[in-house]
Structure formats: structure tokens, C-alpha cells
A and B are shown apart, each in its own frame.
Chain A
Amino acid sequence: MGDRSIRWAPAARTCDDMLLAGLGAGDAQAAVAFVRRFQPMVFGVAFAVVGDRGLAEDIAQQAFERAWRHAGLYDPRRGSVRSWLTRIVHNLAVDAARVQRPAPIDPEDLLPLIAAITDSPERRALASETSTQLRTALATLPPEQARAVVMAAVHGLTAREIADAENVPVGTAKSRIRAAMTKLHAVLPVPRADHG
């Protein structure tokens, strides 16, 4: 790195890092700020996966506890604090859903969620270009592929579970997941190499 080629992270990103460091250090005020900043995202992810506010609240609380205990493991090179926390709460929610799911997901029940993901004006106003491209790509997938990829990516359903829900062969479910992921991946920019 040259003397004057310092690359400052955006202020908001830097503050997320610092709040996490403060949380990990046991600073109560940092913890309050961290929870206040991320609770809508954390609860939203949990609720989208499990569909129950009480269970989602328990999962969201576990996610913050895990973030507190493992703050020192956060590596900014692997993504933002928001992405790191999203993975934590999503993994917890999928694990909980796999244990507690009372019945197979009705594909029709996915339509509001897919609509919320793909058509959310207030989120679009703040969204990055990448997010917008991904939303658009998801919205333009054939409906059966969009359902398949949301069932797998959001709810953690296997191809067999998706096949059962959709009443199609397992091979068809696998093909839909693969086709959808290929199309979604194609719209994302190629990550920049870290080193020249």
C-alpha cells in the first residue's frame, strides 16, 4: 500500500466495525447501539424463515448473544458486519425451522415473501446496485424456479423437501434450484481480486 493510497471504508461501515468491537469488549452502550441498529434486520431474517414472531424473537436474541461471544472472530475481509450477522441469524433460524417445522411449506405461502423481496420501494431507495440487480433477477425467474430457490436459500429446504412441496420429481427440484442459482449468480458483479 502506497503512502497516500489509504482506502477509508465508508463511515457507516467503519462504525459498524467499531460497534462490534465495543460489543465484544463488553461495553454496554456499544451493545445498545449495536442491537438498536441491527434488530430490524435480525428479527426480519428470523421471522421470514420461521414465520412465528415468538420463535423469531428467541432466535434474534440468540443471534445477538452469538455476535457478542464471537465478535473477535469477525473478519472484515470476508464481508461487512451486517453480512456476518445475517449469516449468524439465518443459520440459527434454519436450524430452528428444521426442528420445529410442523408441516411442509405450501408454495403458495411463499408468494408474499417473494413479493417482499423483489418489490420493496423503500428498500430499493437505499439499496445498492447489486441488490437491485439481484431483486430484478429474482423477479424475472420463472415462478417455479423463484419458489425453489427461496425455499432452499431462505428456508433451508432440501431438493427432496421442495419436490414434496411442489409435487414434482426430485430431479426437477434440483434442476430448478440449479437453474435459478445460475441465473442469479450471473447478474452479480465478479468479485474484485484482493491482490494484484
Chain B
Amino acid sequence: MAELTCQQCREVAAELALDVLPCHERADALAHLERCTSCQDTVSALAGTADRLVELLPAAEPPAGFEQRVISALALPAPRGRRRWWILAAAGLVAVALAGGWVLGYSNGNGAPAGVDAQAGERTVMYAPLTTAEHQIGNAYVYPGTPSWIYLSLDGGTASNTVHCDVVRQDGSAVRVGTFPLNHGHGAWGGPAPVDRHTLATARLTDGRGDTLATAHFGPPPHKSDGSGSHSHTDHRHSQHPH
């Protein structure tokens, strides 16, 4: 196999980025990229341009009934229709965004629970900032409907590791609901979580050693019946990813 120079690699970078390079040329180019970060950057940048180009394609209305066929194919439970939670969620998020997450999250400060319902009601999205002992590093959203789920996004810190998300109830019991990677403090994950707005205390992020990295407080703090604080018993039986 011929070893490409940077010049030769850049001559095929556009085709590689567009994913239209024939197999043999592609293999040569990829072999070069393994050793050359400069050419990696070039191809990556051109791939971004290729993506932007595809995003310019015009939208078109699908045939009648398409939406229903897709939903049927997903084999999901039929929508109840009584409550359109996404509208409430959107309204709640707009309210949070307009008011500023910080103000809403801490306006009842002085040690009071910082969890904030985006809107009142049984099936609306709940929001709480994800905080370390010192500051906020992300956001947590919980939907206590059926099925219930949680979504976390982190945009602070510097850690690059695998973290675990536990849902902690007010009685101190905890359930591990997900595991996801952090890359330089950034990461996001969402998935099913057995949450009840009346019993939920916190969503807790821990590292591989079980140390708490951050917590989102949704309700009164959990009882410390075992005296272990953040190391409450965690039930690991729940699944990790929603796929």
C-alpha cells in the first residue's frame, strides 16, 4: 500500500469528507490520517461543510398518513391525547429560559430545595440545576409521566470519564438509571427513569468510585437513615441506555 504524503492526502480530502472515495484510495487516505492530525483536521472541517450542504436540501411534505405509519412502526403505546406534555415542556422551558435558570433554580434559596417544576401538574417537566459543592455544571430535566424519563446535560468542569446517574428518593433509596461518558466536562444523556414527583429527592452523578460529582435537587433531601449521606444504597437493576 502506497504511503500518501500530506499533499496527496489533501488532494483526496474533499472526496473522503464527502464519503465518495473508492475503497482503495480511502484505505490509503485513512492510513495517512492515523498518523497526521493536520490532515485529520482538514478532512474533519470539510466533512462539516459537506454536512452543512446536505442541510440545505429543501423540505418536502411526505404523503398523507406518513406520521401515523411511522408511529405504528415504532410500536409505541398509543398516545393518550389528554395531556400534551411536550407543549407543557416547551412552555416550561421557555419560562425557565426567559427567567434564567439561575433565578428560578435558586430564588427560594437559603437552603431550601432548589428543584423547580417547569409548570404545576402531574405530568409536566421538572427542572433543577446540576451542581457541585461550588457551582453549577449542568442541567437536569425529569418527566414524571408514563413512561417517565430523565435528561441531563453538562457543560462545565474538565473531567473526561464515565459517570453514572442515580435517581435518589426521599426515603434514601436510589436507582441507577444510566451511564454515559463525559468529554472535558461536556456530555448529555437521556433515558427511562422510574421517577415520581412526590417521592423524588435528587438526581445524582457519581464517578466510577462512587464519589458524588454533582447533584440536582428536585425535592426535600433524602432521609439519612443509614447515615451514609450521598452513598445511599443504589439498586442497579434498572437498564442503562434506551436502545
Chain A residues within 8 Å of B, Cβ to Cβ: 1-4, 6-8, 10-11, 14-15, 17-22, 24-33, 35-36, 39-45, 47-48, 53, 56-57, 60-61, 64-65, 68-77, 79, 82-83, 86-87, 90, 94, 113, 116-117, 120, 123, 130-131, 134-135, 138, 149-150, 152-154, 156-160, 174, 177-178, 180-182, 184-185, 188, 191, 194-195
Contacts and interface: CB of A to CB of B under 8 A. Distances in A.
B223 to A, nearest CB: 28
Nearest to B77: A28
Given A60-B62, A86-B54, A117-B58, A27 B151 contact: no
B19 to A, nearest CB: 7
Nearest to B125: A18
A11 B61 contact: no
A150 B20 CA distance: 12
Given A131-B52, A185-B45, 9 more contacts: A6-B102, A26-B242, A27-B145, A39-B66, A43-B66, A71-B242, A73-B243, A90-B54, A191-B48
A29 B59 contact: no
B80 to A, nearest CB: 7
A195 B157 CA distance: 11
Given A71-B243, A181-B50, A31 B71 contact: yes
User: SS class of chain A's interface: helix, strand, loop or mixed?
Assistant: helix
Given A1-B137, A2-B135, A44-B60, A24 B242 contact: yes
B34 interface: no
Contacts, number: 258
Contacts of A53: 63
Contacts of A22: 85-86, 143, 149, 190
Contacts of B12: 174
A160 to B, nearest CB: 7
A163 to B, nearest CB: 12
B62 A11 contact: no
A43 B62 CA distance: 6
Contacts of A74: 188
Nearest to B149: A25
B153 A1 contact: no
Interface residues of B, number: 83
A15 B90 contact: yes
Contacts of B155: 1, 6-7
A60 B71 CA distance: 12
Nearest to A62: B73
12 contacts: A6-B101, A15-B89, A27-B149, A32-B79, A39-B70, A44-B59, A60-B62, A64-B73, A73-B243, A123-B59, A181-B14, A184-B49
A101 B13 CA distance: 26
Interface in B44-87: 45-46, 48-63, 66-67, 69-71, 73-74, 76-80, 83-86
| Most B Cβ at <10 Å: residue of A76, A153, A174 | A153
Nearest to B12: A174
B57 A44 contact: yes
B74 A64 contact: yes
B200 to A, nearest CB: 16
Contacts of B66: 39, 43, 57, 60-61
A48 B56 CA distance: 11
A141 B224 CA distance: 68
Contacts of B56: 117, 131, 134-135, 138
B143 A64 contact: no
Interface string B77-117: 11110011110011001100100111000000000000000
